[in-house]
Structure 1
Amino acid sequence: MKERYEFARAHLSWTIDDWKKVIFSDETKVNRIGSDGLQWTWTNGDKLKVFQVQHIIKHGGGSLILWGCLTWYGVGYLSNIKGSVNSDFYIGILEDELMKTIDWYDLQNEDIVFQQDNASTHTAKKISKWLENNNITVLRWPPHSPDLNPIENLWSILKQRLLQYEKQPDGMLELWSRTENVWESITQNECQKLIESMPKRIKAVYNAKGGHTKY
């Protein structure tokens, strides 16, 4: 909680213009059956009640592990991770999906701030060196802070829309195709609204003295 509080206090003065520079990143799992392993009932923004979350059987379903990123200008390139992620694999994601995202939106490495969580793979010396060599500033991120990361809401949008298909995908290739299509359909406006929430997220964590928030 202390690190979250200190992070919030240090960024209270950040405006939306500051947060526009940040590329947020994260990983998630998408199951072929039930998307994220839960069957959701959507209630117009109201908090879900216990009875509205139904666990479903995932036996034999299969899943995708995704890495993605969120920018002010839209979603970034999406990576379908196969196998375990070590430092070399993660560098491959940075060299491919992250750099393609920066190029696609005609950004400059030195002008962006890169957000990643504190997984040991992300904070390895090899990764820090790669980011330094590529003139990419890293946003020091507090542990256990999914409520501060707007890409978590983006994953929710993705999974909600995947559940809107009438039929379950026949296999993993179809699931990946659907995932790509839904991801690419997410609009710039949706991305901007999420990033515009950052000052409120920061203030909420600060007011909670590092405790977790509704986000």
Structure 2
Amino acid sequence: FFLLDNAMMICTQFLEAENIPVLAWPAYSPDMSPTYIKYVWDALDRRIRQRITVPANIQQLRTAIEEEWTNIPQATINNLINSMRRRCVALREANGGHTRY
């Protein structure tokens, strides 16, 4: 716990020194875990499952992941990233509680 507390303190000091605004409460809400990444993983999973030849071993899976990762449209990634502002606003309005995300 000491290392984690120390790392959090260092991070907090850095954010304050750089005048980077942060939410007033920790992002414990499941709505604010880097939610968009689960959608990226979901898109990646669908792309791999739709391949004509489904990976049969770890190396084939690794290759498929690398290939499909580069094929996810940048617009998809941008839309997910851009949704974070709405997510933060919704979470703030819900006082850290559940949101529709």
Shorter-chain TM-score bucket reads 0.5 to 0.7
What stretches of structure 2 of length at least 5 have no aligned partner? 15-19
TM-score of the pair, normalised by structure 2: 0.63
Give the aligned partner of residue 81 of structure 2.
Answer: 195
Q: Report 1:107-122 matches (<5 A).
A: none
Q: Which runs of 5+ in 1 are unaligned?
A: 1-119
TM-score by length of 1: 0.33
Deviation, 1:169, is: 1.2
Within 5 Å, give how 1:80-91 maps onto structure 2.
none
Written as runs of structure 1 = structure 2, the 5 A alignment for 1:43-62 is none
Q: Secondary structure at the match of 1:169?
A: coil
How many angstroms apart in 2 are the aligned matches of 1:202 and 1:126? 24
Matches within 5 A, 1:3-22: none
Comparing both structures, which one devotes a greater share of its residues to strand?
1
Deviations 1:72-96 (A, max 9, x none): xxxxxxxxxxxxxxxxxxxxxxxxx
Q: Which has the higher helix share?
A: 2
Identity of aligned residues (%): 28
| Cα distance change of structure 1 residues 209 and 125 upon mapping to structure 2, 3 Å threshold | closer
Q: CA deviation at 1:126?
A: 6.9
Report matched runs for 1:76-155 at 5 Å: 123=4, 125=6, 142-145=27-30, 147-148=31-32, 149=34, 150-155=36-41
Of 38, 53, 62, the residue aligned with 1:176 is 62
1:212 is paired with a residue whose SS is coil
* Number of equivalent positions: 87
Aligned-residue Cα RMSD (Å) equals 3.1
